[in-house]
Amino acid sequence: MQNFIDSMVEEIVLEGKPFDTQKKYLKKFCENERLDFDKLEADIITFIEILDSFKTSFSKLQVKLAEEKGRDCHITDETVKELVSYSSPKNLQEEIIPEAIDIKVPEPRETDDSDKPKKKRVWPWIVGIGVVAMIAIAMLLGISHNKSDIDTERYFSCQTVGDYRNYLVEFGHNAKYYDEAKHFIDNYMADSVAKTETQSKAKEEEALYNACTTIEVCDNYLKQYPQGRYREEVLNKKYEFEKQTIQSTGDIGSESNQSLTPLEKKVVGKHLLSLQWISWDYFGTCEISKIENGRYRCVGSQLSKENSDYLKLDGYISIVNENHLKFTGVIKTKVYHLNNGNEYVREGTFDFKATDGRKYWREQEMAGPDGCTDYIDIFFQKK
């Protein structure tokens, strides 16, 4: 980064190139390095203005200000010193900049013409050689400068990882922006690996979802992906499979079924269900069904007749005693004047108890949205 900014500022100050032609490169560089382009642009303009002010006035305070602003611009101290020396009045450099050295050429000793030996005039040859040398140096500098411009232009034209790779192949380890290009490629490869892993996991989840043709596979999916993309669909599949199991073994939800104990007969079946925010005048339904191994499925809902409010239960019941049920699953409520009218979801294990001779099991974890109390009741009375 400093190499680019050093070169750019030197071209502006020493060669008089306009800043506007460099801004597009600087802006892309800032995007790659996550720098504030507007601030860096303003700092560079201020730094150049400080150097320009040396033409009319020059002081140690100005030099100090130039050094501090140069650091804000990410310009190296050596480059700042060079530009300050170039822009400052030469007659004040020794006084203001201690590092500046005034080299004095000693006066030639006067000699008598008679003491001088007679030599052939060789100065034309020296001049010729000097001119040739200067031309050669100018050509080399021009080639070097042109190559640097091509390097910069090629780097800032890169759009894809393939472009950055071609840039490194073309300019090798001597590339002006070797580290930046390498950094981009490494980040791209890391992102690609992460993306591949994410896609692979998504395919594995989808494959397991497609294999959910039994209760056991559904349970396996919910265990591996408790918050998976297909969670709701798998819960619905599982419920359908459980209903099919119940139907194939007879209506074990009926009280007349001889396989149910007296306690189970009280719990299993379709019960009235209510949330006070919706209504106590009309009720919803909560169906509790025995599935297998002492497990009971519980699905219920109460829908408002006046708006889109609702109560929904989806989970499993375990029987503690005739007055105490434990519900494990999801409780969803939507009440227009609570939680900004949005759905409120709770998930976990909740206690439903019948206390003080009541004819219903009431949820004991009553804290609802906005600090309100929810009364969710499953009635003994069946539909």
pLDDT value for 68: 87
Concatenate the DSSP letters of all residues of 60-98 into one string. Answer: HHHHHHHHHHHHHTT--HHHHHHHHHHHS-GGGHHHH-T
Q: Are 74 and 1 in contact (CB under 8 A)?
A: yes
Structural domain count, the chain: 2
Question: Please, which pLDDT band fits residue 269 given cuts at 50, 70 and 90?
Answer: very high
Query: Distance from CA of residue 205 to its chain's centroid?
Result: 24
**pTM of the complete model:** 0.39
Q: Are residues 298 and 230 in the same domain?
A: no
Is 339 found in the same domain as 230?
Answer: no
CATH number of the CATH domain containing 337: 2.40.128
Between helix 178-210 and helix 215-224 the angle, nearest 10°, is: 160
Helix (H) or strand (E) holding 355: none
Asked if the model's pLDDT at residue 258 lies above 90, the reply is: no
Query: What average pLDDT does the segment 193-207 reach?
Result: 88
Q: Which of 124-138, 170-184, 343-357 has the highest mean pLDDT?
A: 343-357
Residue 78 lies in a domain: no
Tell me the β-bridge partners of 310.
303, 334
The answer as to whether 321 is a domain residue is yes
Q: Which residues are CB-neighbours of 47 under 8 A, at least 6 positions away?
A: 9, 66, 69, 70, 72, 73, 75
Q: Which stretches of 139-283 are assigned E, i.e. beta strand? A: 269-275
Rounded CA-CA distance 298/300 in Å is: 7
More reliable by pLDDT, 127 or 205? 205
Q: Report phi then psi at 275, rounded to 5.
A: -125, 130
CA distance 282 to 275: 10
Q: Which of 99, 67, 93 is nearest to 80 (CA)?
A: 67
Q: Same structural domain for residues 266 and 336? A: yes
For residue 339, pLDDT beyond 60: yes
Residue 288 lies in a domain: yes
Q: How many CB atoms lie within 10 A of CB 96?
A: 17
Which pair of structure tokens corresponds to residue 178? 């070797």
Q: Could you give the CA distance from residue 87 to residue 48 in angstroms, rounded to a whole number?
A: 10
On whether residue 30 sits in a domain, the answer given is no
What pLDDT shows up at residue 16?
Answer: 81
Average pLDDT over all residues of the chain = 81
Domain-located, residue 236: yes
Containing structural domain, residue 370: 262-382
| 273 and 376 housed in the same domain | yes
237 and 275 housed in the same domain:
no
**138: confidence class by pLDDT, cuts 50, 70, 90:** low
Residue 251 has a pLDDT of: 44
Of residues 145 and 339, more confidently modeled: 339
Which of 347, 373, 375 is closest to 363 using CA atoms? 375
Residue 348 in any domain: the answer is yes
Q: Are residues 234 and 331 in the same domain?
A: no
Lowest mean pLDDT among 78-92, 112-126, 214-228, 293-307: 112-126
- Residues 372 and 268 both lie in one domain: yes
pLDDT tens figures, 13-43: 888 888 887 787 788 778 777 888 888 888 8
- Is residue 272 domain-shared with residue 362, that is, in the same domain? yes
Instruction: Please indicate, yes or no, if residue 291 is contained in any of the structural domains.
Output: yes
Separation of alpha carbons 286 and 273, rounded Å: 6
Strand, coil or helix: what is 132?
A: helix
One-letter amino acid for residue 256 of the chain:
S
Q: Which of 224, 248, 272 is the last residue of a domain?
A: 248
Q: Could you tell me which residues come within 8 angstroms of residue 272 by beta carbon, excluding any fewer than 6 positions away? A: 283, 284, 285, 286, 360, 378, 379, 381, 382, 383
**Quick one: pLDDT band at residue 143, thresholds 50, 70, 90?**
low
Token representation of residue 170: 């073309």
For range 247-256, the mean pLDDT: 46
- Residue with token string 């105490």: 324
Residue 234 or residue 359, greater confidence: 359
Q: Is position 296 within any domain?
A: yes
Give 100-122 pLDDT, tens digit per residue.
434 343 444 554 555 555 555 56
